[in-house]
Amino acid sequence: MRVHVADHPLITHKLTVLRDERTPSAVFRQLTEELVTLLAYEATRGVRVEEVDIRTPVTETRGVRIATPRPIVVPILRAGLGMLEGMVKLIPTAEVGFLGMVRNEETLEPSTYAERLPDDLSDRQCFVLDPMLATGGSLGAAIDFLFARGAQDVTAICLLAAPEGVEAIHQQVGDRDVTLVLGSLDERLNEKGYIVPGLGDAGDRLYGTV
Ligand code: PRP
Ligand code: URA
C-alpha cells in the first residue's frame, strides 16, 4: 500500500479554514471541492493513458488520452458527495458510482445502505472519495467491495486521516494495489472515534444536518 500525505502550503491553509469550527457550511463545501482538486492531481498520477495521434494547427503529433475502460470515481455517501464535483472537474470523462455507508456511532462499525456501481469492475481504476479516514471501517469495506467486483486498483482520497485508520487499511489490504492520498495525517482518534484535531463530523459540516 502506498500512502501519500500532501505537503503543500495551499492545502494546509485550506485545511486550517476547514477545521475551524466557525467556518460555515457554504465555505466548507467550497473548500472541500478545492482541496479535492488539489489532491486529485497527485491521486491521478498513475491514471492509465493511451497514445493518440492529433493534428495541431502547425503539425501532426502524438499525445495521450485517458485510456478505456475509463476510471470510476466512487464517493462514499454522504460526506464523500461533497468531494465529487472537485474530482470530476479534473477527470470529466470518468464514470461515477455510489456507495452509501454510515458508521454506528456506538460500535463504530460501518453498514452499507446504498450501492449503485457496475457489477463488473474488471480492469477498472477506482478513485474512492471520503473526507474522513477514522477507524478505517468505512473505507476498508468500500475497498473490499470494489476488489470483490474485480477492480484493478483503488486510490482513496481523504482530506484527513488518523494513524489508526491508515494502519487498519494497511493490515487489511495485504498486497492488493491500494494508494491513500491524504490532505493531512492527524494525531489520533479520540474515545468516540473522532479524528483529533480533525474537523468534527464532515457530513454535518457539509450539509448542516444530522
Ligand atoms: C463518516 C466519514 C466516513 C466515516 C469514517 O461518515 O465520512 O465515511 O465516518 O469513519 P471510519 O473510518 O471510522 O469508518 P458517517 O458514517 O458519519 O456518515 P455520513 O457521511 O453520512 O455523515
Ligand atoms: N467521521 C467524521 O465525520 N469525523 C471524524 O472525525 C470521524 C469520523
- Residue 201 CA, closest ligand 2 atom number: 3
- Asked if the peptide bond before residue 78 counts as cis, ω within 30 degrees of 0, the response is yes
In tens, the pLDDT along 142-186 reads 999 999 999 989 999 999 999 999 999 999 999 999 999 999 999
> Annotated binding site for 5-phospho-alpha-D-ribose 1-diphosphate, which residues?
78, 103, 130-138, 201
Look at the domain 2-49+65-207 and name its fold: Rossmann fold (3.40.50)
Q: Is 194 in the pocket of ligand 2 (CB under 6 A)?
A: yes
Torsion angle of the four alpha carbons 146, 122, 154, 104, in this order, in degrees rounded to the nearest 10: 0
Please give the distance, rounded to the nearest whole angstrom, from the Cα atom of residue 111 to the centre of ligand 1. 10
ipTM of the complex: 0.98
In tens, the pLDDT along 34-43 reads 999 999 999 9
pTM of the model: 0.96
Residue ranges per domain, the chain?
2-49+65-207
Torsion angle of the four alpha carbons 12, 15, 17, 20, in this order, in degrees rounded to the nearest 10: -120
Task: Determine which one of 16, 45, 107, 188 is catalytic.
Answer: 107
CB atoms within 10 A of CB 4: 15
SS3 state of residue 116: strand
